[in-house]
Amino acid sequence: MFLVKPWRALAFGVYGYKNFTKSGFVEHSKKFRPEDMEVRIEGKNCIVTGANSGIGYATAEGLASRGATVYMVCRNKDRGEAALSKIQAATGNKNVFLEVCDISLTSDVKSFASNFSSKDKPVHILVNNAGLLENNRLVTSEGFEMNFAVNVLGTYTMTELMLPFLEKAAPDARVINVASGGMYTSPLTDDLQFSGDKFDGVEQYARNKRVQVSLTEKWADKYEDKGIGFYSMHPGWAETPGVATSLPRFSKTLSGNLRTIEEGADTIIWLALQPKEKLVAGGFYFDRAEAPKHLPFAATKGSRVSIDSIVDRLHSFSNISPS
């Protein structure tokens, strides 16, 4: 078993360099159908978390350019307002709004949900994009490890609290969880907050993203009769501020072969626009196609950890009523 982790890293590196880079996007895009992205979505309400920069920004702009009403959920008010102005100017769409919310805090997510309920609007598309790769162990004011708080607990709390509004948009409602190819290096684990002595932010991020993909499958099964579609995806290796800050060596090594933020957001927008009958419930998508959730011989399939027990803990951590 001591060889498993090095093998996962090697398999991920080889597979990723071939597929996740800009050259991978160029190759895969040869099979894209331009008409898939020509859909207009006026009248649809979209929520995008982490929307002030990077892939979240490109997603919000892409949805706004197609006529959607977009709610940009951002932690920083000033950066959020600057991004909002840029999107409105670029798209000519004035139905783009800023919602200030720190996804790492369940109290903030609850406040956002409470305020949103006063709008009495359906949610057609929820994009859980906000993510964090923090290399040092940090703990939120609520007592949770920071990566977990943003990537898992924040995503869980936001999705659960938006379910009533998503149901209002059924049968066209959908949730898109932005995961990462990094999850290929991790099996599902119930060590949600990384209890080991030597904290590894990259490994914790991979664990978090594996949980996100499993949560997507769980939600898809649980709400298949509610008219809500649940999908996860990963954007490939894109040149974002987050990557530059969290993985500077990786960013420098692949400089010139990282995807643009628009290329990273492409599959998110594609998932938002496609008829649901063309999509696989609970599916994991990459470059406009369903992708495998495990790499060969990486020993990530056989975990005995149950997503149900993880969900129970997330219910407890978030302190929201089970739906």
Catalytic residues: 205
Q: How many CA atoms lie within 13 Å of 65's alpha carbon, on the beta-carbon side?
A: 15
Q: Which has the closest alpha carbon to 148: 108, 181, 185, 190?
A: 190
Contact residues for 315 (Cβ-Cβ < 8 A; gap 6+): 322
Q: Compute the distance between CA of residue 3 and CA of residue 11 in angstroms, rounded to an integer.
A: 12
Which helix (H) or strand (E) element contains residue 215? helix 201-222
Q: Which has the closest alpha carbon to 237: 84, 48, 24?
A: 24
Q: Compute the distance between CA of residue 274 and CA of residue 126 in angstroms, rounded to an integer.
A: 15
Question: Quick check: 4 and 10 in contact, CB under 8 A?
Answer: no
Name the one residue in this structure whose structure tokens are 């978030």.
Answer: 318
Question: Quick check: 21 and 260 in contact, CB under 8 A?
Answer: no
Q: Compute the distance between CA of residue 150 and CA of residue 129 in angstroms, rounded to an integer.
A: 10
